[in-house]
Amino acid sequence: MSTKDQGNNSPSPKHIAIVGATGAVGIEMMRVLERRNYPVASLRLLASPRSAGKILEFRDQKIVVEPLTEKSFEEIDIALFSAGGGISKEFAPHAVKAGAIIIDNSSAFRMDSEVPLVVPEINAADAASHSGILANPNCTTAITLMAVYPLHQAFGLKRIIASSYQAVSGTGARAIEELRDQVEAIAAGKTIPKEVYPHQIAFNVLPHVDSFLEDGYTREEMKMQNEGRRIMHLPDFTASVTCVRVPVYRAHSVAVTAEFEKAVSLEKAREVLMAAPGLILHDDPSKAIYPMPIECSGEDDCRVGRLRLDCALPNALTFWVSGDQLLKGAALNAVQIAELL
C-alpha cells in the first residue's frame, strides 16, 4: 500500500530506537508509543553494556536490549535519547550520520540555537526547522509552562517566581529505591543508606536539584528561564526558581507566581486554562480539589489549581501545577515531538 493510498494521512511506520531503554524514562517511552498507537515499524532498545541482554516487552513482542554502539543507528528513522547528556553528546552525531532524527531528553542540546526545543502544545512549529536533532525540555520547565503559556497568551508574561516539589523518580530508578530503602531502614531502626542524594530524602526535603552555579542558583533552577525563553519565544522572560526534592515517588509540583504586562482577571484566566491542551483545571478548594502528585502519577495531562489573584504583586496570578515528570516532563513530550515529524 503506497502512502498515497492511505487516505487518512497517517504517517508511514517508523524504525525507532530508544537509547537508555531500561531507565525510568526509557520504559515510559515504550509505554507511550504503545498507548498512543505510534506507527512503529521496528523498535531497537539500546542501553549500557550492563543492561544489555535484558528482555523488555513491546506490543506483546519480546525485545532484547542491545548495547549502545556507534553502529546502533543503521536504518533507524527516529532515535529517542534518554541516557544523560554525556551519552547524547557522544552518540547523537553517529545517529545523525546514520540518517536518524534524534529527540533528546537530556540537557545536552537544549540551548543550541540550531536545535529546536519543543513543547508541542506551545511551539510545535519550531520542530520543522530541525537539522537532525530536537530537544525535549527540562521536566519542571515543561510542566510549569503548560499552565504559564496559556496565561501568557492572554495577559503577556513578564516573569515568574516559583518553588518546586520534585519527585525522586526525576533522578532515576536508583533514587526510587533509595527513598524506599531509607523508609524501611527508619522503620527498622537501622542505618539509613545514602548513595544517590547527599542527604537523607525520606521524611526530609532538599533545596538541591542538579549542581550549583556561581550565582547561587542551581542548573535546574535556571532551566525555567533559559529554556522558557526559547520555548515561548520570549527573550526577556525572567524566572527565579527554587528547586526542591521531596519524598514523593512520582510527579512534580510547582507553586508559581506569574506577573503579566496586562491586568489579569480570574475569569479570563480560568477560561484560558480550561481551554489549554494537555492541561486540566483541577480547582475547587472548598471540596479539597487541587492538583496533587499522587493523582497526576501516570497521567498524560498536567493539572493546575489553587488559582488566585496575587495579593502582593499587581497584575499577577498565583497557582499550583502538578504533572508526571516521566510523561509530560519526558517520555510523552518526546513521543509528541516524534508525532510532529
User: Which of 43, 248, 269, 273 forms a contact with a second copy (CB under 8 A)?
Assistant: 248
Region near a second copy per CB under 8 A, out of 2-10, 88-96, 110-118, 235-243: 235-243
Closer residue to a second copy in complex, CB, 80/209: 209
Q: 3-class SS at 196?
A: coil
Q: 3-class SS at 174?
A: helix
User: Which of 98, 183, 196, 341 forms a contact with a second copy (CB under 8 A)?
Assistant: 183
Closer residue to a second copy in complex, CB, 52/313: 313
For residue 78, which of 6, 134, 148 has the smallest C-alpha distance?
Answer: 134
Q: If binding is defined by CB under 8 A, does position 291 make contact with a second copy? A: yes
Q: If binding is defined by CB under 8 A, does position 285 make contact with a second copy? A: yes
Q: If binding is defined by CB under 8 A, does position 315 make contact with a second copy? A: no
Q: If binding is defined by CB under 8 A, does position 242 make contact with a second copy? A: yes
Number of Cβ within 10 Å of residue 219's Cβ equals 15
User: Which of 154, 292, 340, 341 forms a contact with a second copy (CB under 8 A)?
Assistant: 292
CB of 191 to a second copy, least distance (A): 15
Q: If binding is defined by CB under 8 A, does position 240 make contact with a second copy? A: yes
Task: Please indicate whether residue 139 is annotated as part of the active site.
Answer: yes
Compute φ and ψ for 304, nearest 5 degrees. Answer: -130, 140
Query: For residue 37, what is its C-alpha cell?
Result: 498507537
196 neighbors 174 (Cβ within 8 angstroms): yes
For residue 16, which of 307, 308, 337, 278 has the smallest C-alpha distance?
Answer: 337
Compute φ and ψ for 214, nearest 5 degrees. Answer: -55, -40
Angstrom distances, CA of residue 141 to CA of 3, 54, 138, 251, 327: 37, 32, 5, 13, 13
Closer residue to a second copy in complex, CB, 55/187: 187
Closer residue to a second copy in complex, CB, 36/306: 306
- The 133-162 site mask, x for binding a second copy (CB under 8 A), equals --------------------------xxx-
Compute φ and ψ for 80, nearest 5 degrees. Answer: -95, 115
Angstrom distances, CA of residue 240 to CA of 95, 137, 180, 192, 256: 36, 17, 31, 33, 10
CB of 300 to a second copy, least distance (A): 20
Closer residue to a second copy in complex, CB, 239/272: 239
Distance CA(140)–CA(255), nearest Å, equals 11
The two counts, helices (H) then strands (E), for the chain are 9, 14
- The 188-207 site mask, x for binding a second copy (CB under 8 A), equals ----------xxx--xxxxx
Judged by CB under 8 A, how many residues of this single chain contact a second copy?
A: 56
User: Which of 212, 261, 265, 275 forms a contact with a second copy (CB under 8 A)?
Assistant: 212
CB of 123 to a second copy, least distance (A): 22
Number of Cβ within 10 Å of residue 86's Cβ equals 10
For residue 328, which of 120, 139, 78 has the smallest C-alpha distance?
Answer: 139
Catalytic residue among 139, 243, 296, 302: 139
Q: Provide the annotated active-site residues.
A: 139, 252
Binding site for a second copy (CB under 8 A): 159-161, 163, 165, 183-184, 187, 198-200, 203-208, 212, 215-218, 222, 225, 238-240, 242, 244, 246-249, 253, 255, 257, 285-286, 288, 290-294, 305-313, 316, 318, 320
